A and B are shown apart, each in its own frame.
Chain A
Amino acid sequence: MKDMIEDRAGATDRPLLTVEGLAKYYGGRIGCEEVSFDLYPGEVMGIVGESGSGKTTLLNCLAGHLAADTGRVLFDRAGQMVDTVTMSEPERRMLGRTDWAFVHQHAHEGLRMNVSAGGNVGERLMGLGARHYGDIRAKAEDWLGRVEIAADRMDDRPTAFSGGMRQRLQIARNLVTGPRLVFMDEPTGGLDVSVQARLLDLLRGLVREMGLSAIIVTHDLAVVRLLADRLMVMKSGHVVETGLTDQVLDDPQHAYTQLLVSSVLQV
């Protein structure tokens, strides 16, 4: 495992995403402020913090769903760092369909509920110009298999799916075009623990297998312990602590992080 990490780090020393002094204000209130970090290819970063700490605001700013007030978000596109905050909307939307993916907390926000599972997975492909029904279907079937959805459920609508299946379908729909960076907003929120465990297992497998970089927002420390290489702790819109996941969780320095870690119920 250690070798693998070194390999990944050695493969490229250029960050995939560089965030510099990002801030978002809601009128006089702070959404998030002075956020800066680098994300390297293949790295998974967790953002934790209590409700209202600015995690989701930060994620939405990074993904271009919200316009940041100050700061830069530089993304490595074909060897060139481009600022996604000032980039034109068509370009940003194109990035959102190709190199980026966004997994919503509530699957119904990220899915088309009145379109079959196969159509949901195929949408990104068709959006990129795929015009061969057989190919689209084969690819959709392959991806549904990878997220453990049976092929005979392919033509069912997500309304007929359980919460866990919907979330897996959302992941398949997002990963089908082979993105390099995935934004996840509470991907396991609202699921029961056994389904959470399977979803995390699946996510970990996919992230490692595809060499994805990911930014995961969650308040569930178990999720970041399992998935994230690095951790960022937020409070009141500010980043209060960063570091390797194990380091932050096992030896928290900031008072809030200590509170957060000690609040987890040990079973």
Chain B
Amino acid sequence: MSVEQIAGEYNFAYLDEQTKRMIRRALLKALAIPGYQVPFASREMPMPYGWGTGGVQISAAIMVPEDRFKVIDQGADDTTNAVSIRRFFEKVAQVETTEKTAEATVIQTRHRIPERDLTEGQVLVYQVPIPEPLRFLEPSEVETRKMHALEEYGLMHVKLYEDIARHGEIATAYAYPVKVEGRYVMDPSPIPKFDNPKLEMAGIQLFGAGREQRIYALPPYCEVVSLDFEDYPFTRMRAEHCCDLCGAEDSYLDEVITDDAGGRMFVCSDTDFCGERRAAGHLGPLGVAESAA
């Protein structure tokens, strides 16, 4: 089937207009109350739960034909999840897609915030597996909603206390809980805590959890504070290396096992950031110059 034929059988961006309206209403409410989890009637999507059904629904609801769409999975544009979601929207919305962070208007992400600072007008859509930060200590949804409503967040610090008691430091390395505008405690989805300071940004951030049927959001320049103890303050965490390809000293790195004899290399998890740096002539210890490649 050609792209035109498939496009003719679907509404623009897959979802019907009523569903989009429902999601947009939830998004507006979420933006009005930063960090508050808004329930929404999540739809079945043509992909399994856990593959980004929440993020896809948000992207579909906010997308216009003029948008340029980028998808990253753990920072990379070329992983299975990213490639298939990008193809999905190429098919059902015929929007332009890009791998360049700077050129994208809507960026759907799984587990990373791009290294390059987003600008006003850009939208970052997160795929969220478990939106409730208190879930692992308090299994009851009735109780956690009450705790949010009454601002009873002592339990969140119990989790951090347990970390220090067991590991000697706050060992939570991802999905690190934050307090938004001094009110709601929020799970920033499983981004590494290295990215937490970047949650205060110029772009709009939308979080969608399809299976859990929750949407929440951070408007631009929103105050986002990572929780900590006075004597164990929040720290960013990063592998103590430079990127082996582009030599970056300040980006978040993935460790890649290269053989079964202990060989490994560290590379930027943000592939676009790494590519741009190499194109600009930066070279890491194991990097190969653009011209030679």
| A residues at B contact (CB < 8 Å) | 89-90, 93, 112, 114-116, 118-119, 122-124, 126-129, 131-134, 136-137, 154-155
Between A and B, how many residue pairs show CB distances below 8 Å?
A: 53
Q: Which 6 A-B pairs have the closest CB atoms?
A: A127-B154, A126-B154, A133-B229, A126-B157, A132-B230, A90-B150
What chain A residues lie within 8 Å of B154 (beta carbons)?
Answer: 123-124, 126-129
Given A115-B137, A115-B162, A119-B158, A93:B150 Cβ within 8 A: yes
What chain B residues lie within 8 Å of A129 (beta carbons)?
Answer: 154
Query: Chain B interface mostly helix, strand, loop or mixed?
Result: helix
Contact, CB under 8 Å: A133 / B150: no
Contact, CB under 8 Å: B158 / A126: yes
Apart from A93-B150, A115-B137, A128-B154: 7 A-B pairs, beta carbons within 8 A = A119-B162, A123-B155, A126-B161, A127-B152, A127-B154, A133-B164, A155-B166
Contact, CB under 8 Å: A116 / B230: no
Contact, CB under 8 Å: A134 / B166: no
| Complex Cα spacing A127 to B155, Å | 7
| Complex Cα spacing A129 to B154, Å | 7
Contact, CB under 8 Å: A133 / B232: yes
Given A123-B158, A134-B231, A118:B165 Cβ within 8 A: yes
| B residues at A contact (CB < 8 Å) | 137, 150, 152, 154-155, 157-158, 161-162, 164-166, 229-232
Nearest CB to that of A90 among chain B residues?
B150
| Complex Cα spacing A172 to B165, Å | 18
Contact, CB under 8 Å: A132 / B166: no
Nearest CB to that of A132 among chain B residues?
B230
Nearest CB to that of A117 among chain B residues?
B165
Taking the closest CB of chain A, its distance from the CB of B165, in whole angstroms, is 5
Contact, CB under 8 Å: B161 / A133: yes
| Complex Cα spacing A133 to B232, Å | 7
Taking the closest CB of chain B, its distance from the CB of A97, in whole angstroms, is 8
Nearest CB to that of B164 among chain A residues?
A133
Contact, CB under 8 Å: B166 / A116: yes
Given A123-B155, A131-B157, A133-B161, A89:B150 Cβ within 8 A: yes
- 23 CB-based A-B contacts, threshold 8 Å: A89-B150, A93-B152, A114-B137, A115-B158, A116-B166, A118-B161, A118-B165, A119-B158, A122-B158, A122-B161, A123-B154, A124-B154, A126-B161, A127-B152, A127-B154, A128-B154, A131-B230, A132-B230, A133-B164, A133-B229, A133-B230, A133-B231, A133-B232
| Complex Cα spacing A131 to B231, Å | 8
Nearest CB to that of A116 among chain B residues?
B165
What chain B residues lie within 8 Å of A131 (beta carbons)?
Answer: 157, 229-230
What chain A residues lie within 8 Å of B230 (beta carbons)?
Answer: 131-133
Nearest CB to that of B229 among chain A residues?
A133
Taking the closest CB of chain B, its distance from the CB of A215, in whole angstroms, is 25
Nearest CB to that of B151 among chain A residues?
A90
What chain A residues lie within 8 Å of B155 (beta carbons)?
Answer: 123, 126-127
Given A90-B150, A123-B154, A131-B230, A136:B137 Cβ within 8 A: no
Contact, CB under 8 Å: B229 / A132: yes
Given A112-B137, A133-B229, A119:B150 Cβ within 8 A: no
| Complex Cα spacing A170 to B145, Å | 25
| Complex Cα spacing A127 to B157, Å | 8
Residue from B150, B155, B161 with most neighbouring chain A CB atoms (10 Å):
B161
What chain A residues lie within 8 Å of B164 (beta carbons)?
Answer: 133
What chain B residues lie within 8 Å of A128 (beta carbons)?
Answer: 154
Contact, CB under 8 Å: B231 / A132: yes
What chain B residues lie within 8 Å of A136 (beta carbons)?
Answer: 161
What chain A residues lie within 8 Å of B152 (beta carbons)?
Answer: 93, 127
| Complex Cα spacing A207 to B158, Å | 27
